[in-house]
């Protein structure tokens, strides 16, 4: 008799920094015997030529998909959804399907958003210093940009999604997953675990850069942007050990005119010393012996990758 395999739908938010940890979590679940189906938006589906077992769906058709899979003899046992897709929880509860929510950012950031949402941290800020349990004293300039520079909140749909919608019902989920590991954020993780059923699942990077349990797991499996792999790695192969400073500011950086001008001047001044490309395979770059330092925008995926690979960082939070 064949052993029953639980069937899990995976729903990532369609930007690179959210796709990567969700796909890595899916791989680990699959390794443990879970049947995985990736469920995407129509936009992302067109890019999923590297990922098998994917289905395109929108919020209005997720219910239809789950019911159809049940009719086909492939019932859905649970869904794991990105916290920025909070409507997935409503669909799961309506159909009696268990649901887990994955927060792709750090526990520290999750805690700050939680305090704002619960009214424990009131905006605009009245004090110059903020105290959050499990975190060191923070200045207004230390807080995530969605909370607002100098205590002013950005009132747009993105801020509403981050500070309100993703936290509105998340406590009703069967599981709450954080893309971090306990020892990295021990105090704030401990505080949140007292009030929520939090499970840390990070760092969510390919296995061959960590414990090497999955021999074929060398890449995330999906790039929304085409990496210039050959040009990048060939150039690094010609550099000496720890001689390269790697600079990257993520997939969502919005440069102002001054910084664009600075970047152009930098290109002109360093054309015979450096290499500038539109997108690179970051894990392969960070793992290269030529890399001596990483100047980063402090995106959480980049931070976890550099920590996991032991690469020194110069932080320029964006």
Query: What is the distance between the alpha carbons of residues 180 and 205, in angstroms, rounded to a whole number?
Result: 11
Do residues 225 and 47 lie in contact, with contact meaning Cβ atoms separated by under 8 Å?
no
Token pair for residue 232?
């990048």
Q: Which of 7, 82, 217, 288 is catalytic?
A: 82
Query: What is the distance between the alpha carbons of residues 108 and 82, in angstroms, rounded to a whole number?
Result: 18
Q: Tell me which residue of 60, 59, 91 sits closest to 78, measured CA to CA.
A: 91
Report in angstroms the alpha-carbon separations of 10 from 6, 38, 55, 73: 13, 5, 10, 19
- Annotated catalytic residue 254: no
Do residues 118 and 164 lie in contact, with contact meaning Cβ atoms separated by under 8 Å?
no
Residue 210, number of CB atoms within 10 A of its CB: 15
Residue 227, number of CB atoms within 10 A of its CB: 18
- Annotated catalytic residue 265: no
SS3 130: strand
Contacts of 295 (CB under 8 A, 6+ apart): 245, 246, 247, 248, 313, 314, 316
Q: Tell me which residue of 231, 233, 251, 235 sits closest to 287, measured CA to CA.
A: 233
Do residues 280 and 298 lie in contact, with contact meaning Cβ atoms separated by under 8 Å?
no
H helix intervals, 182-274: 186-195, 229-237, 257-270
Q: Tell me which residue of 12, 15, 18 sits closest to 54, measured CA to CA.
A: 12
Q: Which of 7, 18, 115, 288 is catalytic?
A: 18
Instruction: Provide the annotated active-site residues.
Output: 18, 82
């Amino acid at each position: 008799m064949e052993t029953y395999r639980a069937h899990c739908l995976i729903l990532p938010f369609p930007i690179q920094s959210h796709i990567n940890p969700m796909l890595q979590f899916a791989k680990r679940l699959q390794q443990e015997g879970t049947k995985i189906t990736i469920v995407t938006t129509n936009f992302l589906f067109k890019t999923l030529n590297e990922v098998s077992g994917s289905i395109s769906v929108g919020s209005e058709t997720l219910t239809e998909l789950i019911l159809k899979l049940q009719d086909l003899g492939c019932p859905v046992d649970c869904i794991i959804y990105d916290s920025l897709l909070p409507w997935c929880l409503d669909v799961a509860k309506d159909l009696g399907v268990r649901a887990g929510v994955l927060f792709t950012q750090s526990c520290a950031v999750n805690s700050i958003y939680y305090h704002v949402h619960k009214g424990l941290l009131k905006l605009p800020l009245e004090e110059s210093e903020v105290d959050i349990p499990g975190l060191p004293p923070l200045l207004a300039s230390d807080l995530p940009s969605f909370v607002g520079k100098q205590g002013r909140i950005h009132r747009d749909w993105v801020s509403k999604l981050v500070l309100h919608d993703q936290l509105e019902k998340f406590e009703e989920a069967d599981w709450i997953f954080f893309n971090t590991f306990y020892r990295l954020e021990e105090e704030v993780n401990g505080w949140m675990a007292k009030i929520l059923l939090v499970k840390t699942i990070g760092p969510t990077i390919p296995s061959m850069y960590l414990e090497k349990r999955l021999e074929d797991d060398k890449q995330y499996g999906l790039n929304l942007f085409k990496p210039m792999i050959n040009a990048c790695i060939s150039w690094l192969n010609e550099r000496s050990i720890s001689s390269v400073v790697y600079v990257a500011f993520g997939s969502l950086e919005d440069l102002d005119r001054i910084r664009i001008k600075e970047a152009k001047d930098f290109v002109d001044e360093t054309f015979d010393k450096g290499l500038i490309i539109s997108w690179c395979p970051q894990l392969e770059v960070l793992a290269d012996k030529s890399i001596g330092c990483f100047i980063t925008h402090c995106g959480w995926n980049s931070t976890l990758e550099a920590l996991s690979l032991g690469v020194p960082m110069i932080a320029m939070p964006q």
